[in-house]
Structures are given as structure tokens and as C-alpha cells.
Structure 1
Amino acid sequence: MTGWTEPQFTARLILRDGTVLEGFGIGAVGQAAGEVCFNTAMTGYQEILTDPSYAGQIITFTFPHIGNVGANDEDIETVDMDGAPGARGCVIRADITDPSNYRAVSHLDAWLKARGIIGISGIDTRALTALIRETGMPDAVIAYSPDGKFDDAAIKAELDAFPGLEGLDLADTVTTAKTHGWDQTSWQWGTGFGANDDAPMHIVAIDYGAKRNILRLLADQGARVTVVNAHTSAEDILALNPDGIFLSNGPGDPAATGEYAVPIIQKLVESGKPVFGICLGHQLLAIALGARTVKMHQGHHGANHPVKDFTTDKVEIVSMNHGFAVDTNSLPEGVEETHKSLFDGTNCGLRLADKPVFSVQHHPEASPGPQDSHYLFRRFINLVREQKGMEPVAEFDKAG
């Protein structure tokens, strides 16, 4: 009988309080600081890891089997491939198995390396999730060294230099560098992605870290989409003659991004054009209308969150990814709450009583997650169609 040999750990997750979790490195070699959150989705790890809203964060996956369907070039949500990669790191429980899906073109480990994302496996993710629920989302450094040797001084310096997400503008690191068009439509079984060749409406999307599937769903509704940088002035946006304006998702503290984004949004609201915001776009719109945002204890990250739409009295299951929320009690007169989380009662939507302006906190485009909220894109397009004198489309399909 052979003796037991202590495993050679090649990765560490070092929390701000000094807690050190050891495991086995995957993905890129190196170290990176970020805020540790947990995501409860059972599918869609590639979409999650490329969502720009996760910039500055290290994602702990609560589902134990991450990587078993491999990776491909179609499930990337980052629009600007030259920008930040999204998540700074990932934490998983089990070793990555070989891919077992017909759409896989690479192993997750190789894909993480190519994206520059550092990962660690072999971690008790249940215990880490419980810690986050009890104490909040900690700042940490994730480090991978193939020989198991770490520069503790350099790791401490990197952690000390990380300011945390509160007060941090990260939209500026993920927004598009230049204005560009978008015409790709949703993926269909057997045919893949399509293109919108007939676009009677023009939507300008302000990119604070937009996901591809949001732009696809706008294109699905017959919109020609123009994507602009987060700093683009209201005058330049209106000069593009949009029929509607979209405020995208994105990372970081909305109050920090709001320092330059809010004055722009206020002018766009005053223009009378239809405005639709998602996630960070929702938070920025709320601030522009006179509300405030707050840092959440553990945030909402997953694909199984129940939300009630007060405008239809229906409950939908949605995808979420945010660590800040709009304070419902701060909504001023004339701003109506339209959606609410049934997990903790936080605000998930608002609309203006006297203008075609609304937004939601959750991610109606999913990717990953359920498609219960796709109707919100039709709701937005109907506001555009109304202004153009066009017939409305059905907000819900027959199943809805």
C-alpha cells in the first residue's frame, strides 16, 4: 500500500480578510484582483464569463460541472473583442472534463487561456457561497502558478491596489471605441445567426458594456442598430436621427459612471424619444430621473430569479447580474415602479408616467437563462412604432 501524497496546489484565491483557498489552476497563468461573487446558473458559463457586466469580478459558479460542454465562437457575449474580457477570474468545484457537445470547438481550459481568464478548480464553492451570503462579496486576488510557487508580496500589493467596485467606473473600460452598426439577429436551430435586411426603425444603443444578444433582439424587432461610445454627447446621438434610444448593461458603480452618463441621459429623455434601459442602463436612468442607487450585500447573479411585472400582473423567471440596485424609496413623483424581485423585494423596473421611457434591472435578453422577458423588446419597439404611426406588434406570443 502506497502512502498518501499531499496534492501540489497550483492556484490560490486570497480574500481581503487574509483567508487563503487553495486549488488547481486552470486557464491563464498569472494573478488578478477583483470582487468575488457567485452565480447560480446551471448553463451558459461561456456567456457569463464574456458578459462585460462582470468586469472587475471573480465569478464563483455554484453549479459543480463547469466546462463539460466545451466552448465555441458563437456563445461569446462581448461586443468589443478588443476591450476588456469581462470576468477577471473564475472559481469552480470539479475538474473540467473533456467536452461532450456537438457545438464545442475547444476545451474550456484552452478557451480560458486564450481569453486571459485565470481560474481555480477544486474549491468548496458551497462554503465560499455561504461566506459571501454571510459577509458580502469580498475583494480578492486569484493566482495561478504552474509550479505552485507564489510571490506573496506581489499578491498583497495587487490586492491593496484594488479599490473595490464601490465608486469605480468600469463602463469606460468596456465601451466601444468607435461608433458601429449592428444587424445580426438571433441564433436559430440549424441555420445559426441571421441578418436584418429590412430595418424600418433606427435604434441608437449607448454601450456601457452591451451584450450581443441584446443587440440581436433589437435587430429581431426590425431595428437598424447603431452602437455608440458611452461618452457620446446627446447632441451627437440625436444627430444620428434615432427612432429610439437604448441604454445598455455594464459593470461598476452606476453613481461613478453617472458622473458623465447622467447629463447625457437627461437630455435624451427630454427629447421625447422612446428610451429603454437594462441593468446599468436602468440604474443610470433612475439616477437621471432623481433616484439613487445602493451597493447590494451579495448581489443578484443567476438565471432563476422570480420577478413580478406590475403592468401585466405576471411573474417571470429571469436572468440577473448586478451588485448595485435602485433604491425604490428614492423614486421621485412621476416615476413608477414596474417590476420587483420576489426574492428580496428590490426594484427591478421603472417607467415615466408622461414619456415613453422605461427600464428593467434584470436581463430580458437572457444568454444564458429563460426567455420569459423577451416581450420587453416588443414593448420598446411598440413605443417606437407608435411615434412613427406604425401598427403595434403583439407584446406576447401565443404561449405568453
Structure 2
Amino acid sequence: MIVARLPKGARVIIYGAGGRGRLLELTLEDRRPDVTVLGYSDTFKRGRYGSSPIFPPEELSGDFDYLIVASAYADKIITDLPEAVLPKVLSYDPVTPPFDPKGIAEGSIAIASTRSSQAMLMNFFNLSMFGPKTQFSVVHLDPVWTLSLWNAHLQGLVAEGRVRHHEAATPDEFEGVYLPEYGNEHVLRFFNSTPLAAVPLCNAGLRSRLRNTMLGLRGRFSRLSVVEFGSICTVTGGNFSTLAIAEMLSSGDSFVTVNLDAGSIQSVQSVCREHSLVDYYCGTSGGFIEERLAGMGTIHFACLLHQPCSEASVASEFEVIERHIPKGGRVLFAHTNRHAALPALEQLLAEKEFETLYRDNAGWMLERQ
């Protein structure tokens, strides 16, 4: 998140003489050769790390632009750093969801934080992350307003009113919200219980895109009917496409996920066990179309994730499904890139007035005009 936004020619020190710090150094060498790494700092290590010197934390001077903490213990490290260097501190976490402002050139973005988000917040306060006409507000999600674990720099910003409790914020204030702990089930569950859940996410990735799609469709249709062929997931199960959709269902909605075998169904059921509105169909997509599609009526969102859209069968299935998709409804293809779709599918989408919303190597989202 921070590598691309570092100022040109920045001089940095990496805090964390270990694997994550080395990964950051290699990333900077590859993507930002204009940035100079002056060396490392570390809580325990001294001497050199590779060919780079290790500066003791207590001896850090101001002769650098940024101190980038690259450690799984970033929150604790930042709390213990000398107060004088805190305005120059950033954090590097390759696991944090990428920030995607979604073209918000003007307006306000909420950064939804918790007690364990202080390292990430340093990036927003100490580095220019937005254009000149975009503002951001930090909205604290902790049910208990306890910030005693935060460092002095952030506590000063709280005193200035730059960090607010979520109960003091309304969704109408924001065009987007960034949730850095989107993969944390407990944080996500609490976030979804707040009014901020009605604001589109500024997180990159399939799961947040699906969530935002469901939010947009919810604003157009009184009830939603969704069908999904195949479930995209990570090894941890944290990014199941099925879960992202299920989280946004309301009473009266219908959602059928179609998976080929019992093992796949069992995996999805395990992840979506708290969402009773999910209907599971075990079998082929062709079998579902033959047996169940007619009974679904209108389909507001169709996710064809089971095969690459270069396969002729995907075009054939879409030709049947599109008859159920109304104006304003959407379709998502997966396993795609800018050159993978069959010409027949491209032509059919154009004829049926589907317009591309986004298209990358992971997915292709279209809306019926």
C-alpha cells in the first residue's frame, strides 16, 4: 500500500531486520529504485543485516525521510519508539488488504480502525495517500472507546478530533470506507452491525467487490435473487465468493450456489454456516439450468465462476441466463483477462447491452443497460 506512494527519492530506514524487512527492501529495489534504503533498525539485533547497517532505535536521528516498520509486531514497536520520530513512521504489512480509492477524486473516505490498527493508521497520517480534494476521517470501531495502547502521536491526533468513535459518524458523510482488518471475522461482524456497512468498501479484491456489488443492487431492487456457479476461495477460506455474497443477504432474498461435488458443497457450507439464506445445489451448472433456472424468475446477479470465459460452454450458459437478468442487473465472469473471452461471448454481451464495469485478470463484471 505504501510502496507506490513514497515520495520520489525518499530516504528510508527499515525497522525489522528479518524476512518481512528483507521483502520490503527487495520490493523497493524492484518497484522503486529511486528510493534509498539507508539501513535497518531492530529491537534486538545490532551490527549489520546483509550489507546494511542496523541502527539502534534509541539512536535514530532525523536524517531520514521515513522509518518503515516491517514486522508482525508493528503496533508494539511503534508504541515504544521515540516520540520525536513518530511523525516519520510508516508500516509495511504485505497481508493488509490493498487500498483502492475506486476513483474517488473528491469527497471523504472513512478509515475504519480498531485498537490493533495503529501501525496502519501511521501510513494515512504520515504519508500522502489521496489527491488534494479527497479527505479522510479515522472512525474507531472498538465497542469500548479505549485508546490507551496507542502511541503518543496518535493520541495527540485523537485530542485534535481527527479520530472519532463510530457512533459519532454517519454513512452519508463518506463516499467510501477502508477496513484494514477485513479478513478478521470478529471485526467484520462488528463492522457489518454499524451504519458504516452501508458505505462501499475501498478495499481491493474480489470479496470487497462482491460486497459493493450487492450494496449497489440493494439500492435498486427491493429483494435480490443471486445465482453462483462455482465458489472462488483461498486456502484459508477467508475469501470465499459465496461468503461475500451471503454476508449481504437480507430476508426475502434468494441465493443459490452451484458446486460440482459434495466435498465442495461441504467446504462452502462450513464457511457460510451462519448464513441460513444460502441454498446449495450439488451438481453441474447444466443440471441446475435444466432443473432450477426457470423457477428462479428474475436474477439480479449471476456469478459464472466455474470455468474460464474462454470456454464455449460459458457463452452457451450465459445465453440462457441473460434472459432472466433485468436492466441494472449484473453478471460476473472469472478466470479471465483482457484477451481470454470468446468472440461469441463478447458479441452476445454487446448485443444484449451489457456494459463492462471492470475487467482484469481475476474477474469481469458487467451491468445490463
TM-score of the superposition, structure 2-length normalised? 0.32
Query: Which protein has the bigger strand share?
Result: 1
Higher relative contact order (CA 8 A, sep 6+): 1
Q: Which has the larger radius of gyration?
A: 2
Larger helix share, 1 or 2: 2
